[in-house]
Amino acid sequence: MSPSPHRENQKRGYVIPIGGAEERTGSMRVLRRFSRLCGGRKARIVIIPTASNLPDTGDRYIEIFLKIGVASAISLPISERADADRKEYIEQLEDATGIFITGGNQLRLSTILGGTLVAQKVRRLNAAGVHVAGTSAGAAIMPEHMIAGGSMGLSPQADGVNLAPGLGLTNAVIIDQHFSQRDRLGRLLTAVSYNPFMMGVGIDEDTAIFIAPDQVCEVEGSGSVTIIDPEHLSYSSMDRAKKNESLSLLDLKLHVLSKGCSFDIYERKPYPPKKTRSHK
């Protein structure tokens, strides 16, 4: 699933994966920056709480965004696939300047939303300039390929990750969340080994990357972002490894970025905070 095409005279919206457990009181740096990007006091946020089994998840985010000061925040209570094809939900999405996908279970999110009118609309709106953020499961589903599960630990292992189709807002990276807190380096390395075309992005809790239309992303929040670049991978044992066997991956490049650092996905180049390249 690739990003929807956009017109030459239009800029895509930002794609903002959040590592989960973002601050919802106090400074709320990630959520406030998302809200400013969507228009600040004029922002109209539509929340998709489908990944969560908790019935009040959408209402809690409505309260948070209204407290931040946006113009409006509504939640689409999509709990079954039929809900994701409802005309009124498509119409409500049309009015959004920002879309926020909550955390929960990413397989619940993908099995309910995948292939529906809501999923198609989110991709098309992002291509037309609407900003899309997702936290935890909502971050995992953003790429073309979604990490659906896997083992913990530092070492990559054969069969160490389970993949499923994602939403397709980006096809250049694969995303893992709660990254340092849940010891997920090994499974992200395994995911990258399946197809070294993709870069791996591991995002800590209360941390996000703001991926601009020109594919320059900047880190916001209290944690760090780990980027695995396999462009110069010279050897992988994935094709011959047995189940649960450790993998060999040679000549990978790894970057760790904290608040203010940026990374150019096209050029595969990191920048420190005070030397961040301006967007094209």
279 has catalytic annotation: no
Annotated catalytic, 145? no
DSSP codes joined into one string, the chain: -PPPP--TT-PPPPEEEE-S----STT-HHHHHHHHHTTGGG-EEEEE-TT---TTHHHHHHHHHHHHT-SEEEE----SGGGGG-HHHHHHHHT-SEEEE--S-HHHHHHHHTTSHHHHHHHHHHHTT-EEEEETHHHHTSBSEEEEEE--SSS-BTT-EEEEE---SBSSEEEEESTTTTT-HHHHHHHHHH-TTSEEEEE-TTEEEEE-TTSEEEEEESS-EEEEE-TT--EE-GGGPPTTPBP-EES-EEEEE-TT-EEETTTTEEE-GGGPPPP-
Out of 136, 193, 224, 262, the active site residue is 136
Q: Which of 144, 205, 218, 220 is catalytic?
A: 205
Which residue out of 52, 178, 224, 262 is catalytically annotated? Answer: 178
| 131 catalytically annotated | no
The catalytic residue positions are 136, 178, 205
